[in-house]
Structure 1
C-alpha cells in the first residue's frame, strides 16, 4: 500500500504541475503552439450554464448527501453539481458556484481524491470542505486550487442547531471567497449550450444506482426541468423548493479503489474523469447518446454525438452523475 500511495502521489504531482503550463483558452481561428486541436469559440453567456452572467470567482463546495443532511441548503443555486460515489457505496456532491453565491451552503463534508483532478479544469478555484483523510490533505495543499477548509477559515463557517454534527456545518460563500481572493473566474470547461440536437429518445425518467444510493430524474414539461430525487424520494431544498436541473449528464467512467480509507477502514473510490467513454445527455424530455473526452486534468470535458459534433446542453443548471 505504501509503494502504491507513493506512486499515486508522484502521478498526481506530475499532472498538477503539467496543468500549470497549459496555454490560455483558445478561440476559433487560433492554432495552439503545442499541437493540440484548437477550441471552438464559446458563445456569450456562462461557461457553466449558458445563461447571461458568467459571474465569478469559482467556488467548489463538498456537500453531504447522507439522509440526515437533507434537505441541503443553497444547492439549488449551484451552476454545476457533480455526483460522486464514496465509501460503502454512498454518495457525496461537489457543487460549483460562480453566477450566484447563496448566503449559506451545506452541510459541508470532507474532500476526496477525485475532487482534485475534477476541479483542475476550472483553473485555480476555491474549495470549501471539512477535513479529509490525513494522507490526502498534503495533496490538497499541493493541488492548483485555493483550499478553504473548516478550521483554517473559521469565520467562513457556521454550525446549525437543527441537526447533529457532522451534518450541521455550513459555509458562507462570500466569506470563503474573501479567504481566497485570487480564485479564478469561470473559464471554458467544454460545455456547449444551444438548440437541442436531432434525434434522441423520448425519456421522462432516468435512475442511476450506486450500491447504497440512487438518483432519479423526472422530466417536468411545465417547469422545463429535470426534477431530482434521492433514494426514491423527491429532493427538496431548505427553502422548501425542489432540486432540479436543465441538463443531466450520466457519465460512464472507471471507478476504482484509491489508496485512501475512511475512519471505519472503508476504501475510498477514485473516479477517473480524465480519458474518454460513453455518456447520456438528458435535456428537454429526451435522452441523447454521447461520448465524453477529457485529454488531461487541465482540460475541460467535451461531449459529442455519434457524428463527432459537439452535443449542446439546455441553458441552466447542469448535474453530472458519475457511474460505471
Structure 2
C-alpha cells in the first residue's frame, strides 16, 4: 500500500515538473515596435563669392599702355612739323605718341609726328610733305595735316589710306591757319582736336609694335648693353642727340648741343628711341628716305640700354618689323617712341654708360 502511494506521489511530481518546463518554453511578450524618427538634416551652408573678375582693359595702339576699352576709338592725327631754327620751339610736339625724324633738303631734319593717346588742341608749325611721308604715315591711317608740297608729292600722299588736310585748300582750311607769331612759312597751326572731332568716325590705328608689359621686360632693357648718350648726324645741319636720365626714366633730346624744348617748356623726351639706318634717293629732287620694300640695321634704346636690330618694312601701309640678333621680335616699353631715320652715310654713335 505504501509503495502504491509512493508511485502516485512520484508520478504527481513528474507531472508538475513537466508542466513547469512547458511554461518556461512559452514565447515572451514583447512591446510593439514603433518607427524610428527621421534624422534631422542640416541645410547646406551658402557662401557668398568674393571673387571679382579683373577689369577689362585694352592696349593703346601707338604706345602699348593699358587703357580702358573704347577710350581711344578715334583716328590718329599726324602732321608734318617744321624744325628750322625759326620754327622752334614747336607746339604740341612734346605730347606726340610717335615722332619720325627724316632728312630733308640742305642736310636738315623735319618731323612727321603722330598723336593718338594725348591729343593737343593745336600743333605746329605745320610744313610740307616729302616723298617718304606716304610710307611713314600710311600704317597709322587717320588724318595728316600739312602745308602743301610739289604736286607729285601731294598726288602720292592723296593715294594713301590717310585723310589729307592741306593748308589753304578744301573744306578743312578753317582748321589749318597762320596762328604763330613767327615769319611765314614757320607759323602755320593745325587745330588737331577739332579735326579729330570732325572725323571721329574714321578708324582708329592698329597696334604698330610689339610691346612688353612694363619697361624692365622690354627687349633692350632686359638684354641690351648700358648706354648713356646717343649721337646722331643726318647731314651738316641735322645733328641731334639723346641722353639717358635715370631720374626721369626717359631719354632726353638735344639739338645743336642744347636741350630740345617744346613751346610748353617741356623738354622733348621718349621712352624708346629707334634708330634705323636707311638709304637715301636724291632723284626726286629732294632727299627721299627709302622705306617700303627695304630692310637694314639699327638699334633700339630703352631704359638706358641699347640692343642692335635688323628692320624691314614690306609695303607702304605695313608697320616696321624689328628683330634682335636671334630673329625674335623686339618688344618696346610702354610709352612714347621716336624713330630716327638716319642715312647710311650719316653717323649714329652710342656712348656706353
TM-score bin (small chain): 0.7 to 0.9
> What's the counterpart of residue 273 of structure 1?
291
The answer as to whether partners of 1:291 and 1:305 remain within 8 angstroms in 2 is yes
SS of equivalent to 2:112: strand
* 1:196 maps onto 2:218 in alignment: yes
Residue 298 of structure 1 and its aligned partner are, at CA, apart by 2.3
* 1:119 maps onto 2:144 in alignment: no
Q: Distance in 2 between matches of 1:155 and 1:320?
A: 31
Residue 178 of structure 1 and its aligned partner are, at CA, apart by 4.4
* Deviation by residue 1:122-173 (Cα, 9 ceiling, x = unmatched): 2x32110001112222222222211011113222123235211111111111
* Deviation by residue 1:107-130 (Cα, 9 ceiling, x = unmatched): 0000111011222222x3211000
Q: 1:232 aligns with which of 212, 236, 257?
A: 257
The gaps in structure 2 that reach 5 residues or longer are: 1-56, 345-353
SS of equivalent to 2:139: helix
The answer as to whether partners of 2:211 and 2:334 remain within 8 angstroms in 1 is no
Aligned residue pairs: how many?
A: 274
Q: Distance in 2 between matches of 1:143 and 1:178?
A: 21
Residue 182 of structure 1 and its aligned partner are, at CA, apart by 4.7
Residue 181 of structure 1 and its aligned partner are, at CA, apart by 4.6
Q: 2:66 aligns with which of 43, 48, 52?
A: 52
> What's the counterpart of residue 331 of structure 2?
312
Q: 2:266 aligns with which of 236, 241, 245?
A: 241
Does 45-54 or 63-72 show the bigger shift?
45-54
* Deviation by residue 1:223-250 (Cα, 9 ceiling, x = unmatched): 1010011222111011111110000000
Does 133-142 or 97-106 show the bigger shift?
133-142
* Deviation by residue 1:282-301 (Cα, 9 ceiling, x = unmatched): 00111111111222222211
Q: Distance in 2 between matches of 1:155 and 1:193?
A: 41
The answer as to whether partners of 2:180 and 2:188 remain within 8 angstroms in 1 is no
**TM-score normalised by the chain length of structure 1:** 0.80
Does 130-139 or 65-74 show the bigger shift?
130-139
Alignment of 1:1-324 (within 5 A): 44-53=58-67, 55=72, 56-122=74-140, 124-151=141-168, 152=170, 153-194=172-213, 195-197=217-219, 198-211=222-235, 212-259=237-284, 267-274=285-292, 275-323=294-342, 324=344
Q: Distance in 2 between matches of 1:58 and 1:258?
A: 31
Runs of 4+ in 1 over 3 A off after TM superposition: 178-183
Q: What RMSD in Å do the two structures reach over aligned CA positions?
A: 1.7
The gaps in structure 1 that reach 5 residues or longer are: 1-42, 260-266
Q: Point out the structure with max Rg over C-alpha.
A: 2
Q: Distance in 2 between matches of 1:258 and 1:180?
A: 36
Residue 304 of structure 1 and its aligned partner are, at CA, apart by 1.3
Q: Distance in 2 between matches of 1:206 and 1:190?
A: 22
